[in-house]
């Protein structure tokens, strides 16, 4: 069932790989993104690499825990294997500082818990180069004060 999917995205084929050792994160993110994207989830980077041979991802949602365990060179290896891939690091709230060193290696941002459908889809859309409608707050001016 597709909820809130724009018509233009139904014919677009953007591949998103969710790679995280936390199975709950993987499942939740895959569920939130499957309507707008071709989304695949993997527990290991090796499994994602095998699937990537059939077609490279446009965006990689990568568990920060995997990056911390694999060291800073892991991001460089990914960008060498899949040039141009966008990378969002997935972590717990408050882990943004731990992710900072990896921005110089090729990561493009952080996706932190708690996940909401709107926040996750917005961040993914930005990374995929989709137009994201900005919220504009209007201030009403009382009549006769102009």
29-62, pLDDT tens digit by residue?
999 999 999 999 999 999 999 999 999 999 999 9
Q: How confident is the model at residue 140 (pLDDT cuts 50, 70, 90)?
A: low
- Structural domain that includes position 106: 7-127
Longest Cα–Cα distance of the chain, Å, equals 67
Prediction pTM value? 0.82
DSSP state of 5: -
Which H or E run contains 96? Answer: helix 96-99
Residue 46 lies in a domain: yes
Residue 141 lies in a domain: no
Residue 81 lies in a domain: yes
Tokens standing for residue 60? 């990689």
Residue 134 lies in a domain: no
> Is the per-residue pLDDT at 82 higher than 60?
yes
> Is the per-residue pLDDT at 139 higher than 80?
no
Alpha-carbon span 88 to 125, nearest angstrom: 12
Tokens standing for residue 83? 């040039």
Query: What residues form DSSP beta bridges with 16?
Result: 39, 59
Q: What is the pLDDT of residue 142?
A: 67
Mean pLDDT over all residues of the chain?
Answer: 88
Query: What percent of the chain shows pLDDT beyond 90?
Result: 73
Supply the CATH number for residue 68's domain.
3.40.50.2300
Q: What is the pLDDT of residue 141?
A: 65
Residue 138 lies in a domain: no
The pLDDT tens digits of the residues spanning 84-105 come to 999 999 999 989 899 999 998 8
Please give the tally of structural domains in the chain. Answer: 1
Mean pLDDT within 116-127: 96
Whether the upstream peptide bond of residue 114 has omega within 30° of 0, thus cis, is yes
* Total length of the chain: 146
């Amino acid at each position: 069932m597709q909820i809130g999917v724009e018509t233009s995205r139904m014919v677009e084929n953007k591949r998103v790989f969710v790679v995280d050792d936390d199975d709950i994160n993987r499942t939740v993110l895959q569920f939130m993104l499957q309507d707008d994207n071709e989304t695949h989830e993997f527990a290991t980077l090796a499994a994602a690499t095998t699937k990537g041979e059939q077609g490279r991802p446009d965006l990689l949602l990568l568990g920060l825990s995997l990056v911390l365990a694999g060291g800073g060179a892991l991001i460089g290896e990914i960008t060498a294997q899949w040039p141009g891939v966008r990378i969002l690091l997935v972590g717990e709230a408050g882990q943004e500082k731990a992710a900072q060193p990896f921005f110089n290696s090729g990561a493009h941002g952080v996706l932190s818990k708690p996940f909401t459908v709107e926040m996750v889809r917005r961040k993914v859309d930005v990374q995929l180069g989709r137009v994201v409608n900005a919220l504009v707050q209007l201030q009403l001016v009382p009549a006769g004060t102009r």
